[in-house]
Amino acid sequence: MKVLLIAALVANLFLETMAALSLIGGPEGLSAAGTGGQWSMHYGFAALAIASVSIWTWFQRSQAAALTVALGTLLVFHSGLAVSLAAAGDQQGGMVAHIVLAVLFAVLFAGRSKLA
């Protein structure tokens, strides 16, 4: 279970950091400052925040309360984004990645008593 936790946290950190970089640095990111259409950049910083949960969780991974909050947050985030991407229907790769992460975090959340 602990190996699965490490794998899920690393995957979350990597995927969300890559998403943040592409959204912040993309055509509707920082280069579009002042145009009012910077939703991509705003979502990039949200992705960066969710990526940082992996780092904060790492240092508190043996505390049940912290693990419950982190795993619950990541489960809700990835589940919601998977639904959103499925509804949009235009980013199958992202949708699959978020479904996989949602399932991983659901399994980890259900078995969190074995992790702390």
Q: For the whole model, what pTM was predicted?
A: 0.91
Measure the CA–CA gap between 94 and 42, rounded to whole angstroms: 18
Measure the CA–CA gap between 87 and 82, rounded to whole angstroms: 9
Q: What is the CA radius of gyration of the chain?
A: 15
In terms of C-beta density within 10 A (0-12 exposed, 13-18 middle, 19 or more buried), how is residue 73 classed? middle
Residue 36 has pLDDT above 80, yes or no: no
What six digits make up the tokens of 29? 């990111």
Contact 45, 20 (CB under 8 A): yes
Nearest to 28 by CA among 44, 17, 11: 44
- Domain map (residue ranges) of the chain: 2-114
Residue-wise pLDDT for 60-108, tens only, equals 999 999 999 999 999 999 999 999 999 999 999 999 999 999 999 999 9
